[in-house]
Amino acid sequence: MNIPRPGPKASTVAIFGVVAIVLLIIAWSRGGEYDEYYSIFLIAGDARPNWPIMPVTVATLRHFYHGHGTFLTIAHDLRHGDVHPPLYFWLLSLWRDLVGMGLVRMRDLSVLLTLVGLASLARIAARVGVSPLLTIVLTVLCYGFAYTGIVARNFALADTLSLTGVMLLLAADNRKDRVPALLGGVALGAACFSNYLASFTTIAALAWFAVANRRHAAQALTPALGAGVFIPAGAWFFLAQAGTRKGQFHPFFLPRALLDLTRDQAGALLGALPRYMPHPWSIVLEACLGLFAAFLVIVAIRSGLPLLAPRHRALIVSLILAPPIGLLALGAIFDNTPIEVRYVWLGLPYIGLILAAALRDRPRLAAVLMAVQLSAIIGLAIAPQTMQPAARTARSAAANSGPDTLVVVPFGNDGVGIPGPFIAAAPSRLLVQIIRTADAVHPAAMMRFHRIIIANITVDSSSRTLIPQVAALFKATSCWRRQAAPSDIIVFDNHCRGAT
């Protein structure tokens, strides 16, 4: 009996179904990220919540999450308090009105956008003669792509618009039809209005199209005109924000920047597996993955690039190189080092494409690569080493609290990234006090509590300074004695007879 094989359409549907399930599982599994709650508070109309300074129950703080900011409010708060353009946040606001509030629901928008972007990537792969399905699989399994594809931030929208823009430019290449060229430019410009870092791949794609179609000047410049629709608005936001976030990154030093870039580019491709291993095995694994990444680069250059037509080869190479070169240029201009795994995400689809071309006839090597990537993706979903601790700490504090317990939560650098996910994950009954400085804590005035729990969240400079200071205050008071507790909380019990 002959069993018919599934056709290309059935295989494509199956792959997209699996991808959707994987991304949704990751989105559901991970705790809240530092920046995600800025997205939530921003669209709720109160980007920097004015947390009360006295102890209150978590239930009384829930209203900060459920307001409704207008488009004008969102734009105003972004222009005066962040470093991002508004397009994604406007879309997120509409999405929240459609599906309701909640971190996982906010992340679902990113998952949906990622699937749309992968559909554009499949069209790109087919046009340049590479297997669309293998390209999709290798791209989704990139740690940096899967991560940026689920968080409630502007990465997925920028990636989707950028991929769609490139797809349209390829459709318009070497033709006199200016409509797809114009729409491609508009999509690339909109990507920049979602995340400024998309400017790197936008410039690369527009430059490629202009050079490739230089014999037809009007056609060559059409995408740039489309992208230019967003330039005035983008500049209006960027110029207001250009001087913000000083001190967020290390000063620029080229050797260190190159080392960081190499490490994070490899991590974006192969994941954070060394973090899951104890020392010294983590060092051994990191070295092995570094060698494997270098080997993949050689294979891609020797076997993948020659399979592409020269015209397409120039485009793909420029799109792979644009993000790292752009980050180095940005660092040199502003004297900082803005290099993280999530900042090189825009080049990952094209790395996936070139690897798909290179590994077409190397099934064993492809299987090894996918096994490594899959292990990293599983870690992305479940390993605490890759997650920020606020939600986990909230659960730990709740499990160790009882009657007359107060949980002290650090305000952090901005009052968003630490309290936001902590409060969201904490039970409504939990009594908390959000503190900006150690002066807000008076152990002698807290004698009515039988237990004080300090949320040991040290993910920014303010919290790293504040937590030891607060713990020292209680340690220096004879009535309060430190108790054994999980590492993410610091627990002091009141042992004075006069305590109520």
Give the tens place of pLDDT for each residue, 420-452: 999 999 999 999 999 999 988 888 888 889 999
Q: How many CB atoms lie within 10 A of CB 33?
A: 24
pLDDT at 245: 55
What is the per-residue pLDDT across 260-292, written as a single tens digit (0 to 9) for each? 999 999 999 999 899 888 888 889 999 999 999
Residues whose CB is less than 8 angstroms from the CB of residue 317 and which lie 6 or more positions away in sequence, other chains included:
305
Q: 462 and 417 in contact (C-beta within 8 Å)?
A: no
Write the CA distances from 425 to 39, 76, 105, 112, 237, integer angstroms.
16, 29, 15, 24, 33
**pLDDT value at residue 1:** 40
Averaged over 64-76, what is the pLDDT? 91
What pLDDT score does 500 carry? 45
Q: Is the pLDDT of residue 72 over 50?
A: yes
As a whole number of angstroms, the distance between CA 471 and CA 410 comes to 12
Q: What is the pTM of this model?
A: 0.92
Which among 69, 85, 54 has a CA at the least distance from the CA of 154?
85
Grade residue 248 by pLDDT with cuts at 50, 70 and 90: low
Mean pLDDT of the chain: 91
Confidence of residue 3 (pLDDT cuts 50, 70, 90): very low
Q: Is the pLDDT of residue 244 over 80?
A: no
Q: Provide DSSP, 475-493.
A: HTSTTEEEE---TTEEEEE
DSSP string, 156-213: HHHHHHHHHHHHHHHHHTTSS-HHHHHHHHHHHHHHHTT-GGGHHHHHHHHHHHHHHT
How many C-beta atoms surround the C-beta of residue 365 within 10 A?
17
Tens of pLDDT along 26-38? Answer: 999 998 988 899 9
Check residue 497 and give its pLDDT: 52
Q: How large a percentage of the chain has pLDDT more than 90?
A: 73
- Pair type for strands 405-410 and 431-435: parallel
Name the CA radius of gyration of the chain, rounded: 25
pLDDT for the residue numbered 498:
53
Residues facing residue 451 across a β-bridge: 405, 493
Asked whether the predicted pLDDT for residue 8 surpasses 70, the reply is no
pLDDT tens digit sequence for 168-201: 999 998 777 789 999 999 999 999 999 999 999 9
pLDDT tens string 73-97: 999 998 887 778 999 999 999 999 9
Tokens found for residue 389: 């601790």
Task: Calculate mean pLDDT across residues 148-152.
Answer: 96
Q: 315 pLDDT exceeds 50?
A: yes
Q: What pLDDT shows up at residue 82?
A: 76
As a whole number, mean pLDDT of residues 455-471 equals 93
Q: Tell me the C-alpha to C-alpha distance, in Å, between residue 242 and each of 201, 238, 246, 449.
A: 20, 6, 9, 46
- pLDDT band at residue 25, thresholds of 50, 70 and 90? very high
Q: What is the pLDDT of residues 207-228, one digit of tens each?
A: 999 999 988 888 899 999 999 9
pLDDT for res 7: 56
Phi, psi dihedral angles at 453 (to 5 degrees)? -115, 125
CA distances from 185 to 228, 322, 453 (A): 8, 17, 54
Place of tokens 């009657």: 403
Calpha distance 372→16 (Å, rounded): 21
Task: Tell me which residue of 253, 315, 230, 247 sits closest to 462, measured CA to CA.
Answer: 247
379: amino acid identity, one letter? G
Q: Is the pLDDT of residue 162 over 80?
A: yes
Per-residue pLDDT at 12: 82
Mean pLDDT (whole number) for 140-147: 97
Pairing status of strand 489-494 against strand 451-455:
antiparallel
